[in-house]
Amino acid sequence: MSDAPDPSSRPTLPRGVRLKHDALRGEWVLLAPERLLKLDTVAVEILQRCTGEATFDAVVDDLVRVFAAPRERIAADVGTMLSGLAAKRLLDWR
């Protein structure tokens, strides 16, 4: 994919987009302007690391420790997900 993230840029959830654990339904959601996305556990692990502090590379490195999968595979999946959110203006790169 041509729009793979710059490894040194830092993904962050902009103001108006936030992660929330919905205790009533027992699930995580991403709340955004006029939107509400249900998240699976992998997406939650990724987005919890998008703090604006860690670089894309650091996020991937950290996830490699959590998930038993090759680094290239994780980098590709995380890149695809974050690029998709950025295209919807639900994620910014710093």
Which residues contact another protein (rule: CB under 8 A)?
14-18, 20, 22, 24-25, 29, 31, 33-34, 36, 86-89
Give 17 or 50: the residue with its C-beta nearer to another protein. Answer: 17
> Nearest distance from residue 7's CB to another protein, in Å?
20
> Nearest distance from residue 61's CB to another protein, in Å?
27
Per DSSP, 54 falls in state S
Burial classification of residue 46, based on how many CB atoms lie within 10 Å of its CB (0-12 exposed, 13-18 middle, 19 or more buried): buried
Give 17 or 74: the residue with its C-beta nearer to another protein. Answer: 17
Distance CA(72)–CA(52), nearest Å, equals 22
Distance CA(74)–CA(61), nearest Å, equals 9
> Nearest distance from residue 26's CB to another protein, in Å?
11
